[in-house]
Structure 1
Amino acid sequence: MPIPSTEPTPVRSLAELNAQIRTLVDGGLGTLEARQEYERLLVEWGSAVHQGAAEAA
């Protein structure tokens, strides 16, 4: 029996998250807000990758 994940279910697809991350990085991470958004997107992206791997198993 699988153990339920405590990670939030991502609302956006990996493609959407990748596009947002690329756009943010292309615009630069010079501000605190940009770095915080980048970190938040990376966490959401990691959750989406983890969920995709779990669904494939």
Structure 2
Amino acid sequence: MSPNPGPRAAMRPAAAVNEDIRALWHDPRVGLTGDQRATHERLLTEWAAAVRADVVPAA
């Protein structure tokens, strides 16, 4: 199974994913644990997909 959601998969807005990223890493002076880094990477991937989905192709 592909790690990328298909075009019909429900996608959260980039702003919602960004809130989760900010909540995960609330103090940049403190490093993330291994599990938190994995979650951060997953959230960044989800955020990037949401941003790409918001782009409207030029006419």
Structure-1-length-normalised TM-score: 0.71
Q: Output the amino acid matched with 2:54.
A: G
Verify the 8 A CA contact 2:24 2:40 in the aligned structure 1. Answer: yes
Q: Answer yes or no: is 1:50 the counterpart of 2:52.
A: yes
Structure 2 unaligned runs (5+)? none
24 and 18 in structure 1: CA distance in 2 versus 1, 3 angstrom threshold: same
40 and 12 in structure 1: CA distance in 2 versus 1, 3 angstrom threshold: same
CA RMSD of aligned residues (A): 1.8
State the shift of 1:25 in Å: 1.0
Percent of aligned positions that are identical: 35
Bigger proportion of residues as helix: 1
Structure 1 unaligned runs (5+)? 1-6
Matched residue pairs, number?
Answer: 49
Verify the 8 A CA contact 2:25 2:32 in the aligned structure 1. Answer: no
Equivalent runs, 1:1-57 vs 2, <5 Å: 7-8=4-5, 9=9, 11-26=11-26, 28-53=30-55, 56-57=56-57
Aligned-partner SS, 2:32: coil
